[in-house]
Structures are given as structure tokens and as C-alpha cells.
Amino acid sequence: MSGFGAIDISATGLDVSRLWIEITSHNLANLDTVRPTDEEPFRALLLRVQENRDGLARGGGGVEAVGFSRSTGSADRVYIPQHPFADEEGTLIRPVVDLATEMSNLILATRMYQVNLRAIESSREAYASALRIGTA
């Protein structure tokens, strides 16, 4: 990281929020992905994030994505006998993705991105003002 700690910290937030938006988009794209009853259903990806303890000279700084997990819970069965993946009884397994949760995540991730971007802009403006003080 550079000597501009506030910018570096906000940049980690930008990275995490961008990844969160991508994961949420992936989950929403698979909202209607059905599978045969003998296969595991699609489960929404969940991003795991933690504080970045190695940043800013090991004093901590920002956040980092540390992995993914899959949503838990049981999948719903739907009756669609004409579907090519339907079993003998005409049922399929729906994905384990909650539309309301994913839309909320998308709003939160977008707002997180906007806030971190604004923090970078404010820090840049403050650093530029500090440099101008020395030249006046």
C-alpha cells in the first residue's frame, strides 16, 4: 500500500463491492435454473469478507474477500412435466436463491461501491489541497 491510507482502504472496499456485485449478478442469472431431481440444485454463492490485517504497515486497513460459500436450505420441487429435465413424476428442483435477498445485496453492494468511490474522491481532493498549501 502507498502512503495514502484513506485511498488504499477505500480501494479495498471498491474491490470487494465489485466482486459482491458480480456474485449477486451470477446468482440472479441462475434464478430460474432448474435441475433434474437426481442432481444438486443451484445454490446462491455467498461472499466471505474480513478485515485486511496485513494492510497499512500491519496495522490493518480495509477489507478483503477470503472465500465463498453456498447458501443452505432445501430446494423446492416444481411440477413441470413437459420440461426435458423432469423426472418420471414430472418434477424438477428449483435453485436455492432468494430474489429479495439478492436484490437487497445488489443495492447494498452498489451503495458500498458509491460510498468508497466518493471517499477516494474526497481523499484525493484533500491531498491535492494539502499540496497547494505548501506552494502558496
Of the pLDDT bands very low, low, confident and very high (cuts 50, 70, 90), residue 94 is very high
Q: CB–CB of 65/16 below 8 Å?
A: yes
The predicted-structure confidence for 25-75, as pLDDT tens digits, reads as follows 999 999 999 888 888 999 999 999 998 877 555 556 889 999 999 999 899
Q: What single DSSP character describes residue 33?
A: -
High-pLDDT (> 90) share of the chain, %: 57
Mean pLDDT of the chain: 88
Closest alpha carbon to 45 in 12, 18, 78, 72: 72
The answer to whether the predicted template modeling score (pTM) of the entire model surpasses 0.85 is no
- For residue 35, what pLDDT is reported? 87
| Cell 424438477, residue located | 92
Backbone angles phi, psi at 60, to 5 degrees: 95, 150
Yes or no: say if 77 and 62 are a contact pair by the CB < 8 Å rule: no
